[in-house]
Amino acid sequence: MAAHIWGMKIFVLIFALFAAPLAAQQQVPQSAAQMQLSFVPLVKEATPAVVNIYAKIMTQAQRTPLQRDPFFERFFRDPFSEKPRVQNSLGSGVILSADGIVVSNYHVVGMATEIRVVLNDRREYNARVLLGDRDADLAILKIDAEEELPFLTLRSSESVEVGELALAIGNPFGVGQTVSSGIVSGLARSGAGGGNSGLGYFIQTDAPINPGNSGGALIDMAGRLIGINTSILTRSGGSNGIGFAIPADLVAAFVARARDGATEFDRPWAGISGQPVDSDMAATLGLDRSGGIIVSGLHAASPFLEAGLDVGDVILEVGGAAVNTPAEMVYRMSVAGLGRETPVHYLRGGKRFEVQVSLIAAPDDPPRDQIMMTERSLLPGLVMARINPAVISEMNLPLEASGVVVMEAGRFAQQVGLRRGDVIVDINGTEIIASEEAAELLSGKVRWIEMTLLRGDRRTRLRFRV
């Protein structure tokens, strides 16, 4: 019996030791203010600046292969199938200024012919696109309102840290404005986004994001915009807790360009090719850890080459921030903006160097001499241009590409196998250097055409009768 009593005393003592800190952590609210502790004040302040966007996009009906054939197309002529179709797009946006500057995703409004913006209080406005960029998946809109509008302020992305609380606000599935909570799960996510490459630099969050949230706000606990929700990583189509937002610093750069009157976002051109330094490569280079980008190629007009970098150098920082992927470097340069210089730290032979690199647009030199083939030519509608740095950047060509590239294949060229982005090496055995040479050969009276093409890193040959 005595042993039983001692056992009970020990149990009570252990329970008391554990219960004391537990009670301290789980206190019953002592006041009305503590009972009302929630996101309510924050949501009330932020949601008026997050809008629903309804866009109409005109699309052309897809033609079957037989409809595209010159002989069979007459049997498939349908006056109704040729008419453009209206496709409705639903998304979200964020007001960034009292005079009606709105940011959203390019995939929501980029190709729209009509845009309607609906505020949380049900006010509606027509909007127009000032600037859009497919690669960054950003679009800056303007709505004209007589009164001042509610707006969110931007917070520098550099101050955002993993673990911060965050709210995602948008219009998922068109059910109406919705708020979801989570944290900042990761930073500098390159190449993420499930097919939305953007500039390859995202903020990751576990706040639920669903279709319709695109273009909506990711805010911090002070109600400041830290990112624009753009995509999710999912297999089912719904939120799995892995969402991506475009950092506010890039949004600010787009807004500044739009206010300057630009209709396109001209990002700085690096003129280099490279790859991330992994652990095996780091050991070979004598580095104590992986990180940075090793330069594998430099264009003759590259500002990095002019600043003194060479093949084999490892770029460590751009603009004072570490870079570990080419996409991250492009992001840093884009945020800095054209016409400036940015500090670049690199490693060569185990020594660290710093240089100032000029941020320039890809030079459109030598002149591209773009040509469209006429109806009298062998391939009417074919658009070709001489390759220069600007064309390499626009068409995403290899850095060493030269000669003439297909800008638009046109109907007849597509039928014989030409595609946008094909580099024309030769025509009927004649090496092609300028677009005028290609145009002349494709305007002559010949029965057969043989062309050597470069398609990516693959060489192919076409032969067709004309």
Q: Find out whether the peptide bond into 172 is cis, omega within 30 degrees of 0.
A: no
Query: Do 321 and 375 sit in the same domain of this protein?
Result: no
Q: Find the domain containing 317 and state its range.
A: 272-358
| 269: its two tokens | 């051109």
Predicted pLDDT at 14:
43
> How far from the centroid of its chain's Cα atoms is residue 96's Cα?
20
140, β-bridge pairs = 103, 131
Q: Which of these three, 358, 392, 423, is where a domain ends? A: 358
Residue-level pLDDT at 327: 86
CA distance 265 to 47: 28
Mind listing the pLDDT tens digit of every residue in the chain (466 residues)? 444 444 444 444 444 444 444 444 445 555 555 545 678 889 999 999 999 999 987 665 555 554 555 544 554 555 545 556 666 768 899 999 999 999 999 988 888 889 999 998 999 999 999 999 988 899 999 998 889 999 999 999 889 999 999 999 988 777 778 899 999 998 877 755 443 344 568 999 988 887 778 889 999 999 999 999 988 766 555 566 788 999 999 999 999 999 999 998 988 999 999 999 998 888 888 888 889 999 999 999 999 999 999 999 999 999 999 998 888 899 999 999 899 999 999 999 889 999 999 999 999 999 999 999 998 888 999 999 999 999 999 999 999 999 999 999 988 899 899 999 999 999 999 999 999 999 999 987 888 999 999 998 899 999 988 7
- 32 belongs to a structural domain: no
Q: Both 161 and 255 in a single domain?
A: yes
92, 104, 137, 249: the catalytic one is: 137
DSSP 373: -
| Domain harbouring 165, CATH code | 2.40.10.10
Structure tokens at 248: 């506010």
Global pTM?
0.78
Asked if 247 and 227 touch (Cβ cutoff 8 Å), the reply is yes
- Please indicate, yes or no, if residue 38 is contained in any of the structural domains: no
Annotated active-site residue 121? The verdict is: no
Structure token digits, residue 370: 């773009």
Q: What is the pLDDT of residue 72?
A: 47
The answer to whether residues 118 and 52 touch, using CB atoms and an 8 Å cutoff, is: yes
Can you tell me whether residue 51 is helix, strand or coil?
strand
**How would DSSP label each residue in 73-90?**
GGGG--TTTTS-EEEEEE
pLDDT of 13: 45
Catalytic residue among 92, 180, 185, 214: 214
> Where among 302, 330, 358 does a domain terminate?
358
Closest by CA position to 341, among listed 329, 355, 328: 355
Task: Tell me whether residue 214 is one of the annotated catalytic residues.
Answer: yes
Q: Domain ends where: 232, 259, 286? A: 259
pLDDT at 191: 55
Report pLDDT for 247. Answer: 94
Q: Would 363 be classed as within a structural domain?
A: no
- Rounded CA-CA distance 133/198 in Å is 9
350 and 387 both lie in a single domain: no
Overall domain count for the chain: 4
**The pLDDT value given to residue 156:** 93
Question: What pLDDT sits at residue 18?
Answer: 43
Distance of CA 40 to the CA centre of its chain: 32
* Residue 78 is a catalytic residue: no
User: In one letter, which amino acid is 127?
Assistant: A
Cα gap 287→24, rounded to integer Å = 49
The answer to the question of residue 48 being in a domain is yes
Calpha distance 327→401 (Å, rounded): 20
Q: Phi-psi bin for 268: left (phi > 0), alpha (psi -120 to 50), beta?
A: beta
Handedness of CA 94, 97, 100, 103 (dihedral sign): negative
Which residue is catalytic, options 89, 107, 313, 422?
Answer: 107
